[in-house]
């Protein structure tokens, strides 16, 4: 069950980022800014070559660092020394982010699936994440597009709230995922089996039957990603909380 604090304030998507102000997404600077305004923080995890949980969204480094190659091909210290575009700091480790946040605001932690087909070949990132979270006492919830990942976290972190990151899994957005698997994921059929207690759904698909079905069961529905006040107003007709960027919610 999600504690009440997860409903009190919106969540800053990848931190309160603004690269023009020296706060790239998923940077320590973006997290400091979110904490200063009391927003929750949504962040993403990838794994380094030496098995550490790194706070980074993409599989490839190019968009956010200007350097090509996969995150998983470099060691954690090398990634930490690789400057993010628009800042003088590198990619943070999860342990560094937890030390910074220190329970001041709630965290929504998305475990990025390491199998691009959303298959069952998971484990290393989940295990290192669980090990790091073991000593963290602040409010945190885990989520992933991969039901396999969420199910594994139910074993590794049974007392930590877990949820599914969801959408309609349209083919153009998930080209590497087999059609049958996409159709299955779109139904959110794995919700109960994964031990999930919430979903975070794509904002323009909140009126889908599968979302409304969970809503009718009083399952909390979050959504991603809201970019202005009007989008938030519409989303909150269904969503219990939102993940936002590019504006400051009330």
pLDDT tens-digit series, residues 65-102: 999 999 999 999 999 999 999 999 999 999 999 999 99
Predicted confidence (pLDDT) at residue 123 exceeds the cutoff of 90: no
| pLDDT surpasses 90 at 232 | yes
Three-state secondary structure of the chain: CCCCHHHHCCEEECCCCEHHHCECCCCHHHHHHHHHHCCEEEEEEEECCCCCEEECCCCECHHHHCCCCEHHHCCHHHHHCCECCCCCCECCEHHHHHHHHCCCCCEEEEECCCCCCCCCCCCHHHHHHHHHHCCCCCCEEEEECCHHHHHHHHHHCCCCCEEEEECCCCHHHCCCCCHHHHHHHHCCCCCCCCCCCEEEEEHHHCCCHHHHHHHCCCCCEEEEEECCHHHHHHHCCCCCEEEECCCCCC
pTM: predicted TM-score of the whole model, two decimal places: 0.97
Report how many domains make up the chain: 1
**Amino acid 122: pLDDT:** 77
Average pLDDT, the chain: 96
pLDDT at 115: 76
Question: Quick check: is 194 in a domain?
Answer: yes
Mean pLDDT of 112-129: 84
Q: Do residues 21 and 14 lie in contact, with contact meaning Cβ atoms separated by under 8 Å?
A: no
Question: pLDDT at residue 109 above 80?
Answer: yes
Flag whether 47 is in a domain. yes
Q: How far is CA 238 from CA 52, 84, 87, 203, 235, in A?
A: 37, 36, 37, 10, 6
pLDDT digits (tens, 9 = 90+) for 162-214: 999 999 999 999 999 999 999 999 999 999 999 999 999 999 999 999 999 99
Q: Does 216 reside within a domain?
A: yes
Question: Which band of pLDDT confidence, cut at 50, 70 and 90, is reported for residue 23?
Answer: very high
**Residue 100 belongs to a domain:** yes
Mean pLDDT of 125-141: 97
Q: Is residue 249 a part of any domain in this protein?
A: no
pLDDT band at 120 (very low <50, low <70, confident <90, very high): confident
- What pLDDT shows up at residue 118? 77
Q: At 219, which CATH number?
A: 3.20.20.190
Is residue 250 assigned to a domain?
no
For the segment 110-119, what is each residue's pLDDT rounded down to a tens digit? Answer: 999 887 777 7
Cα separation, 121 vs 92, in Å, equals: 25
pLDDT higher than threshold 80 for residue 121 = no
State which residues form the domain around 162. Answer: 5-244
């Amino acid at each position: 069950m999600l504690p009440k604090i997860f409903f009190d304030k919106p969540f800053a998507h990848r931190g309160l980022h603004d690269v023009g102000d020296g706060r790239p997404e998923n940077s320590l600077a973006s997290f400091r800014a979110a904490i200063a305004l009391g927003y929750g923080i949504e962040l993403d995890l990838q794994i380094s070559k030496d098995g550490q949980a790194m706070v980074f969204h993409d599989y490839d480094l190019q968009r956010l660092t200007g350097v090509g190659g996969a995150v998983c091909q470099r060691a954690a210290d090398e990634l930490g020394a690789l400057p993010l575009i628009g800042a003088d700091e590198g990619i943070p480790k999860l342990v560094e982010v937890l030390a910074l946040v220190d329970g001041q605001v709630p965290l929504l932690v998305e475990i990025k699936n390491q199998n691009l087909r959303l298959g069952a070949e998971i484990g290393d990132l989940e295990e290192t994440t669980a090990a790091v979270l073991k000593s963290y006492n602040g409010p945190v919830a885990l989520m992933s597009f991969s039901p396999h990942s969420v199910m594994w976290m139910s074993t590794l972190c049974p007392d930590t709230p877990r949820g599914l990151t969801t959408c309609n899994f349209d083919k153009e957005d998930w080209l590497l995922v087999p059609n049958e698997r996409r159709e299955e994921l779109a139904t959110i059929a794995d919700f109960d089996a994964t031990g999930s207690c919430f979903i975070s759904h794509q904002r323009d698909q909140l009126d889908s039957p599968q979302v409304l079905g969970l809503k009718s069961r009083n399952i909390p529905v979050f959504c991603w990603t809201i970019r202005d006040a009007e989008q938030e107003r519409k989303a909150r007709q269904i969503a219990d909380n939102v993940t936002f960027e590019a504006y400051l919610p009330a």
